[in-house]
Chain A
């Protein structure tokens, strides 16, 4: 499988480490009233779609950037690769 890195171009997936659902970017507010429930859901509840899935990959033997990869879990077709940093900032995160 080839991941088209937004900065470095096509790279073999063996250079990357898989983390999981890109929803991990949306870490709950620890000061919220229902923080315990939110963190339970954040840690343990995952969708397991057969089809399009947004997931986090780490370019370990590369530039060490985190990527958000949109992949079809049934065909392994990759339709989009973004820097996780850009995704997080677009959602209002400071870094």
Chain B
């Protein structure tokens, strides 16, 4: 077996953290992702199977739901993304597929995305320079897809105050991080 060294999306051996006055931008590689989409006519069956598996109902349009170890956000009509800690749920998609069966199409998404978390009261000042989504008016526990540095990204407002996650395409992690860092330096 080769001795491979795991690297984060930004190429480091440990996650990148940038600290500013009133803001911290941190790379979060420790999350597994899988998306679910209801098969034709099976949305209700999928919703009850998903609730049984997750321990919480699938969230409404543009909202999120949390029940440790899972968090779920709405992506589109009859589509959701599920997050769980990578250490305990490396095979998240397989687990979900086993629970949902033929009610849903399940897609492994973990390494398609890079996640940056923005925490601190100045996060709005950065986000308002970068994307269309109005972070100040997003209620806690909501999610939207928006364009950020020409990239289609998910912007999630966690239930905690002043905590946003940006999920962007992993192959553009460097550009996305550069945009966040530049906006933070300019705003703060």
Chain A residues in the interface with B (C-beta under 8 A): 7-8, 11-12, 14-15, 60-65, 83, 85, 94-95
The answer to whether A62 and B145 have CB atoms under 8 Å apart is yes
Distance A63 CA – B146 CA, assembled complex (angstroms):
9
Q: Closest B residue to A11 by CB, please name it.
A: B132
Q: Once the chains bind, are A63 and B132 in contact (CB under 8 Å)?
A: no
The answer to whether the Cβ of B62 comes within 8 Å of any Cβ in the partner chain is: yes
* Number of interchain pairs (Cβ within 8 Å): 35
A8 touches B62 (CB 8 A): yes
A62 to B74, CA, bound (A): 11
**Residues in A whose Cβ lies below 8 Å from that of B61:** 7-8
Q: In the bound complex, what is the Cα–Cα distance between A83 and B61 (angstroms)?
A: 14
Please report the total number of B residues contacting A with Cβ < 8 Å: 13
In contact, B132 and A83 (Cβ under 8 angstroms): no
**With A15-B146, A63-B145, A65-B77 already in contact, 14 other A-B pairs whose C-beta atoms are closer than 8 Å:** A8-B144, A12-B132, A14-B132, A15-B132, A15-B147, A60-B152, A61-B146, A62-B144, A63-B75, A63-B77, A64-B145, A65-B76, A83-B77, A95-B40
Rounded to whole angstroms, the CA-CA distance of A14 and B147 in the bound complex is 9
CA distance A14 to B75 in the complex (A): 19
**Residues in A whose Cβ lies below 8 Å from that of B146:** 15, 61-62
In the bound complex, how far is the Cα of B76 from the Cα of A58, in angstroms?
A: 12
The residues of B that contact A63 with a CB separation of less than 8 Å are: 74-77, 145
A-B contact pairs, 19 of them (CB 8 A): A7-B61, A7-B77, A8-B62, A8-B144, A12-B132, A15-B146, A15-B147, A60-B152, A61-B145, A61-B146, A61-B147, A62-B144, A63-B74, A63-B76, A63-B77, A64-B75, A83-B77, A94-B40, A95-B40
Contacts of A85 in B (CB 8 A): 77
Question: How near does chain B come to A85, taking the closest CB pair, in angstroms?
Answer: 7
The 7 closest A-B pairs by CB, nearest first: A63-B76, A61-B147, A61-B152, A64-B76, A7-B61, A95-B40, A62-B145
